[in-house]
């Protein structure tokens, strides 16, 4: 079997941000379920946190292609 | 195919793009030769993303002028649509992130950014074009450079050149930790923020486009194999359809996130001394 081991590396690297994004949206859904009128305040915060957590996965993607 | 159509359409008659790789995004239309820049050879060319960007700018200008030229207090249908988008950026992004005191001067900047990025992202799935402009790193870098200059400029204007660095430092810290915190804050302000802003937009568009190519061209390759593999192309194309819908959402979200972060950086540079 031939291939590129860095692909697996990227897969592993994506686990962390994935869990982070999951936790952020879980907290967001929890908050909105408890207090629906807070949705407008929570939404930008949730999206902001999601964007920051996601940046880690994007870094890994770029590093993967830089290495090529 | 007419030359103008060839400038926008995917290069269908070329060799197969499967499996896709980053060279997919290098689509020069007119080449002007090469130059030597920082020791590496670079090709000067008008590329397909450049043409798409020019096209979207033209269409956006037409849309905005056409719907607001005869602006009335009781809006027409077109004007109401434009106002909805404008209100989304003005109230949903600018006012929330910068604060109701001094958000107004930045609304035109943020609105322009939002519609430009959104339209260019959606060009990644709008059928005859299907190429996200921001999948080429140069375009997000240019947009990020604008945001970078704006938020540092207003920060220095508000706090003064030395005050700007003082402002980065939270007050009430013990003296010995101040240099380390200042170094970290400067890293955030000058390196991490612009880097993530540009890379996030680029990475999402780049990866999304590759994903769509995998399912669409991959389905086509399977279809050409004949026999049982041809049947498998059907689920591949169903997946391509689902991914296209998902991409539409991601592309909207990335335009929103870009402008949201730009607004939060501007708002962060404008807050009063700690």
Closest CB from A44, A50, A59 relative to B97:
A44
Let me know how many helices (H) and strands (E) chain A has, helices first: 3, 0
CB B185 within 8 A of CB B168: yes
What is the pLDDT averaged over residues B109-116?
Answer: 94
d(CA B49, CA B139): 9
Residues 4-63 of A with CB under 8 A from B: 44, 47-48, 50-52, 54-55, 57-59, 61-62
Question: Sign of the C-alpha dihedral, residues B94, B98, B100, B101?
Answer: negative
What is the pLDDT averaged over residues B228-255?
Answer: 90
Domain ranges of chain A: 16-67
CATH of the structural domain A16-67, one choice from 3.40.50.300, 1.20.20.10, 1.20.1260.10, 1.20.1200.10: 1.20.20.10
**Ramachandran sector of residue B227 (left: φ over 0; alpha: ψ -120 to 50; beta: rest):** left
Omega prior to B19 cis, within 30 of 0: yes
Inter-chain contact B22–A65, Cβ cutoff 8 Å? yes
Q: Both tokens of residue B259? A: 């402008």
Inter-chain contact B22–A61, Cβ cutoff 8 Å? no
Closest C-alpha to A51, from B11, B136, B257, B5: B257
> Is residue B40 classed as helix, strand or coil in its secondary structure?
strand
Q: Both tokens of residue B233? A: 């192309």
d(CA B167, CA B182): 10
Q: Both tokens of residue B267? A: 């708002």
Q: Which residue of A has its CA nearest to B259?
A: A48
Omega prior to B249 cis, within 30 of 0: no
Closest C-alpha to B104, from B274, B269, B267: B267
Residue B273 confidence (pLDDT): 63
Supply the ipTM of this predicted assembly: 0.81
What is the pLDDT averaged over residues A6-29?
Answer: 91
pTM equals: 0.86
pLDDT tens track for B70-98: 877 877 888 888 999 999 999 888 888 88
- Which tops the pLDDT comparison, B56 or A1? B56
CB B132 within 8 A of CB B205: yes
Give A21's Cβ-side CA count (13 Å radius).
15
């Amino acid at each position: 079997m031939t291939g590129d081991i860095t692909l697996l590396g990227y897969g592993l690297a994506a686990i962390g941000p994935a869990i982070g994004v999951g936790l952020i949206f879980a907290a967001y859904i929890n908050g909105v379920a408890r207090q629906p009128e807070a949705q407008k305040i929570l939404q930008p915060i949730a999206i902001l946190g999601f964007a920051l957590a996601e940046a880690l996965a994007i870094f890994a993607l770029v590093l993967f292609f830089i290495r090529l | 195919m007419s030359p103008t159509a060839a400038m926008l359409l995917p290069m269908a008659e070329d060799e197969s793009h499967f499996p896709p790789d980053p060279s997919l995004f290098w689509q020069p239309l007119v080449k002007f030769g090469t130059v030597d820049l920082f020791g590496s050879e670079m090709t000067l060319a008008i590329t397909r993303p450049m043409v798409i960007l020019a096209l979207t700018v033209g269409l956006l200008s037409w849309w905005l002028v056409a719907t607001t030229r005869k602006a009335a207090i009781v809006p027409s249908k077109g004007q109401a649509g434009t106002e909805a988008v404008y209100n989304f950026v003005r109230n949903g992004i600018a006012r929330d992130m910068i604060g109701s005191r001094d958000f107004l001067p930045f609304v035109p900047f943020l609105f322009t950014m939002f519609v430009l990025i959104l339209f260019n992202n959606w060009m990644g799935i709008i059928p005859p074009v299907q190429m996200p402009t921001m999948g080429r790193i140069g375009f997000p870098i240019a947009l990020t450079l604008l945001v970078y200059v704006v938020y540092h400029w207003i920060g220095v204007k508000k706090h003064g050149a030395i005050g700007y660095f003082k402002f980065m430092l939270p007050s009430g810290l013990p003296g010995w930790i101040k240099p380390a915190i200042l170094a970290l804050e400067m890293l955030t302000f000058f390196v991490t923020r612009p880097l993530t802003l540009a890379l996030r937009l680029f990475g999402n568009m780049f990866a999304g486009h590759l994903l769509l190519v995998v399912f669409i061209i991959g389905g086509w390759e399977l279809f050409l194999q004949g026999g049982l593999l041809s049947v498998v192309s059907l689920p591949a194309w169903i997946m391509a359809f689902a991914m296209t819908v998902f991409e539409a959402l991601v592309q909207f979200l990335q335009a929103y996130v870009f402008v949201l972060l730009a607004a939060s950086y501007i708002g962060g540079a404008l807050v009063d001394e700690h």
